[in-house]
Amino acid sequence: MIRRAVPLFSIAALLAVAGSGWALDADLDGVADDADNCPAVANPGQFDTDGDRVGNACDDCVAVADADQADDDGDGVGNACDRCPDTFEDVPGPDENVRLGVAPDGCSVSQDCPCDGPPNRNVSWKSRGAYLSCVRRHARRLWWLSIVDRTERRLFATSAISSGCAVERGLPGDRDGDGVPEDGDESGRAGNFPCTGGATVGCDDNCPRVRNPRQTDLDGDGIGDACDADVDGDGVPDAADSCPRKANPTQVDADADGVGDECDACADTPEDADVDSRGCAEGQTAGG
C-alpha cells in the first residue's frame, strides 16, 4: 500500500482548528507558542540567561533582564544593555549611502571613535594616527562579527582618512591645540582665570597641556577633569576613590563591593560578588 505524505498546509490547518487539542507552534521548535519564550524564533532549548522570560535567541539583552525589550535607537541592542544610546547610521556604503551597524554593546564606530576625541574622556585626539587607528580597530571588530562586509570595513578607513578629524591644531598660546588659549581672557597671565561652569571662551585653558575642548570641570576647582587627579573634589584621589565622579569623602561602602554608597546602583550586592562600575553583580538590576 502506498502511503501519501500529508501536505504541510494540511497539518497547519489541523493545528489551527479550534478545540482540536493541538497547540500552535509557529516556529516549529517543538515548544507550543503559549509556552515558548521565543515564539517566532526556533529555540528548542529555551535558554534564558537573564531570566526575563525572553529566550536568548530573540533577546536584545541576553545578559541583562529587560522583559519589555525596549530599544529606543532601533539598533538591535536593548536600552537595558546599550552602552551607546542614540546611535545613528554611520556604516558607509559604495553608493554613498549609510546604514546602521553596531557591536554587541550597542556602539557604532562613530561612537567608539568620535571625531572630536575619545568618548567619556573630554579630550581631543592626541594625534591623527590615534584617531585613524581607533577607526580601523573598531571597523575590524565589526567585520569579525560579520556586521559589516569587507567593502564597508575598507570604506570606514578611507572615510576617516578624508575627514578633518584629529588634525593637529597646536599654535603658540594653545600648545595642546584644543581651541582654548592658555590666556583666553587676554589678561597677560595664563591660568589666572581658568574656564569653569561650561565656559570655553574668554577664560584660560583649565588643562593647558591636555586637550579638552569642552573644558569640563566637575568640581569647579579650575582644574579641568582631563587633568584633575581628584575630579569630584572630595579629597580622595581618583585612583583610590570608590566614587570618582561623585563626592564621597567618607568612602562609605556598606556592601563592600568597591563601589561607594554614593554611586552604588545596587546597594545590596552579595558578598565577594564581581560587580561592574555601577556596583551591580551579574543578574542584579540597578535600583533593585
**Percent of the chain beyond pLDDT 90?**
43
pLDDT of residue 143: 96
What 3-state DSSP class applies to 30? coil
∠ CA 70-101-142 to the nearest 5 degrees? 120
Helix-helix angle 150-162:128-144, to 10 degrees: 170
pLDDT of residue 179: 86
Judged against a pLDDT cut of 60, whether residue 17 lies above it is answered with no
Residue holding cell 497547540?
A: 23
Judged against a pLDDT cut of 50, whether residue 273 lies above it is answered with yes
The verdict on pTM exceeding 0.75 is: no
The pLDDT tens digits of the residues spanning 70-123 come to 888 888 898 888 999 889 999 999 887 899 999 999 999 999 999 888 887 767
Q: What is the C-alpha separation between 204 and 191, in angstroms, rounded?
A: 5
pLDDT of residue 72: 87
∠ CA 199-200-206 to the nearest 5 degrees? 95
**Mean pLDDT computed over 255-272:** 87
Query: How far is residue 192 CA from its own chain's centroid?
Result: 37
The pLDDT tens digits of the residues spanning 239-250 come to 899 999 999 999
Residue 160 DSSP label:
H
What 3-state DSSP class applies to 281? strand
Q: 226-239 b/e with 16+ CB inside 10 Å = b?
A: bbbebbbebebeee
CA distance from start to end of the chain: 66
For 205, the grid coordinates are 585653558
CA atoms within 13 A of residue 3's CA, in its CB half-sphere: 2
**Mean pLDDT computed over 157-179:** 82
